Amino acid sequence: MKNNNKIVKFVFMAIIILIGIYLYSSITTKQELSQNNSSSENTSGKTVIIEHPDIFLWFQDESSLCDISNINTSPEREKFCTNKDIFKTMSRFVDIQTTQNNLFTVFTIETDALAPDTVVGIQNRETDKVTMLTNYYLGNDFINLSPDESFFVYRTACFESKCGYGIYDLRSDFLTSQSVITTFNIPEFLDAREENSIFVEWISNDTFNYKIGDKSLSMTLI
C-alpha cells in the first residue's frame, strides 16, 4: 500500500512539473513572438531587425512612401522617412521565418505609414545582406518554404486584390536576379490580369499546386 502511495505521489509530481514546463514555454513563446514584431533572433544569435540599414534605405529610396510627393504630406511621414527610431516604432514584421540551416530569413513588413500594404524581403544571415523582393503594395506576402527549404514562394505584383507569385531559389547565388527562377500570373500590364491566383501547397520538394481562377494547376521547378 505504501509503495502504491509513493507511485501515486511520483506520478502526481511528474504531472505538476510537466504542467509547469508547458506554462513556462507558452509564456516564453508569447514574449518572443511579441519581440519579433521588430526583430527576430534564432539559436545562432544572428538577428534581423526592422531598422536594418538595407531595409531603412529601401523604404527611403524605393518604396515611394518617401519620394518628394509623399514625404511632405505630414510631419509624421517626414519623420518616418528620415528618423530611424521613428521608422522602427512605425514598422513591424507581420510574417517571418528562418531556414533550419540558419542561412536565410524571409519576412513580410508592414508600416503605419501606409497599412495594410506590405513588402517581402530576404536576409542572407551570413553576409547580413537584405534584399527586398516586391514593391510596397497591398497583398504582397511571404507564403512558405518548400519541404527541403530549397525554394520559397511569395505573393507579388498585386493589383486591386489580384496577385501573382514568385518562386525564389535558395540554392542559387543570393545576389543575382536569377534567384527568382519563375513567376506565374504576372501579365505585362497588371490591370489586364483577369483572374486571381492562389498558392495551394507543396506536394514535393520542387512541385506545388496552385489555382488561377477556378482552374487547378501544378508546377515542377526542376
Residues in the chain with pLDDT values less than 50: 17-36, 42-45, 175
| pLDDT at res. 13 | 60
93 and 178, same domain (yes or no): no
Structural domain contains residue 74? yes
Report how far residue 39's alpha carbon sits from residue 83's, in angstroms, rounded to the nearest whole number: 18
Q: In the chain, what is the greatest distance between 2 CA atoms, to the nearest angstrom? A: 84
| Residue 7 grid coordinates | 507511485
147 and 169, same domain (yes or no): yes
| pLDDT at res. 42 | 47
Q: Which domain holds residue 163?
A: 139-222
| Residue 139 grid coordinates | 497583398
Per the DSSP assignment, residues forming a β-bridge with 9 are: none
65 and 105, same domain (yes or no): yes
Domain limit, last residue, from 108, 135, 162 = 135
- Reported pTM: 0.78
106 and 145, same domain (yes or no): no
122, 136 in Cβ contact below 8 A?
no
User: What is the length of the chain?
Assistant: 222
118 and 157, same domain (yes or no): no
How many domains does the chain fold into?
Answer: 2
Q: Could you tell me what percentage of the chain is helix, strand and coil, using 3-state DSSP and rounding each to the nearest 5?
A: 30, 35, 35
| Residue 100 grid coordinates | 533550419
Structural domain contains residue 49? yes
161 and 72, same domain (yes or no): no
pLDDT in tens, 106-165: 999 999 999 999 999 999 998 899 999 999 999 999 999 999 999 999 999 999 889 999
Domain limit, last residue, from 86, 116, 135 = 135
205, 149 in Cβ contact below 8 A?
no
150, 170 in Cβ contact below 8 A?
yes
144 and 131, same domain (yes or no): no
Structural domain contains residue 12? no
Report how far residue 168's alpha carbon sits from residue 106's, in angstroms, rounded to the nearest whole number: 11
- Closest by CA to 81, choosing from 110, 113, 103, is 113
Structural domain contains residue 29? no
Contacts 24+ apart (CB under 8 A), 5-9: none
Report how far residue 180's alpha carbon sits from residue 177's, in angstroms, rounded to the nearest whole number: 6
DSSP state of 101: T
Structural domain contains residue 21? no
Domain limit, last residue, from 135, 158, 190 = 135
| Residue 84 grid coordinates | 530611424
pLDDT exceeding 90 applies to what percent of the chain?
Answer: 64
